[in-house]
Amino acid sequence: MIFDSWAELLRVVALGAAAYLALVTTLRISGKRTLAKMNAFDLVVTVALGSTLATILLSKDVALVEGVVAFLLLVGLQYLIAALSVRFPWIENLAKSEPRALLYNGVPDEAALRQERVTQDELLSAIRAAGFGGLDLVAAVVLETDGSFSVVSRDKVGSRSAIPMVKGVAT
């Protein structure tokens, strides 16, 4: 079906504008952290918010108020988990993973690559994307809690205090 009715299009426009306004208001009240994507948990909430918005727009079975309650629930739970994570390390451990060094002093950590399910090609791709042409120029590559790669050059490594410890490797 290409076109159902003008009334349905109007419903999508009206609900879309109202749902969008509700989502933006909820996000402004909840603060920047809600969409920070600092870890996998935050990413899931961000995707769920987008999915909820799409459901409100396209499903006749979901009322606007139900969608707004879903927004508030998702943002509220994310806020609660983030707040509790700051206060209780065991909750932080449940909600997010630890960053992991995949390369240290220009040498890939094969065990870390295997455990994190990252291929050598993916590691090299991250290094190239950061603008480096050789492993000898890289002090570390860290797989962050959100799944992104951080590449630290040898000339900017500093005290190495921001790089996760690698088992069996002396700094």
pLDDT tens-place string over residues 75-91: 999 889 888 989 999 98
Tens of pLDDT, residue by residue, the chain (171 residues):
788 899 989 999 999 999 999 999 998 988 887 877 777 778 888 899 999 999 999 999 999 999 999 999 999 998 898 889 899 999 888 887 888 999 999 999 999 999 999 999 999 999 999 999 999 999 999 998 888 899 999 999 888 888 887 554 544
Same structural domain, 10 and 90: yes
In DSSP terms, 140 is beta-bridged to 104, 152
Tell me how many helices (H) and strands (E) the chain has.
6, 4
d(CA 156, CA 169): 19
SS3 call for 154: helix
Check whether residue 130 and residue 62 sit in a common domain. Answer: no
Tell me, yes or no, whether 116 and 42 share the same domain. Answer: no
pLDDT, residue 132, reads: 96
The residue out of 42, 67, 94 marking a domain boundary is 94
pLDDT for 166 equals: 58
Please give the tally of structural domains in the chain. 2
Q: Is residue 162 part of a domain?
A: no
Residue span of the structural domain in which 60 resides? 6-94
Distance CA 6, CA 99 (A): 51
> Which stretches of 25-122 are assigned E, i.e. beta strand?
100-104, 107-108
**All residues at 6 or more sequence positions from 118 whose CB lies less than 8 Å from its CB, including other chains:** 102, 143
In terms of domains, do 58 and 128 share one? no
CB atoms within 10 A of CB 142: 20
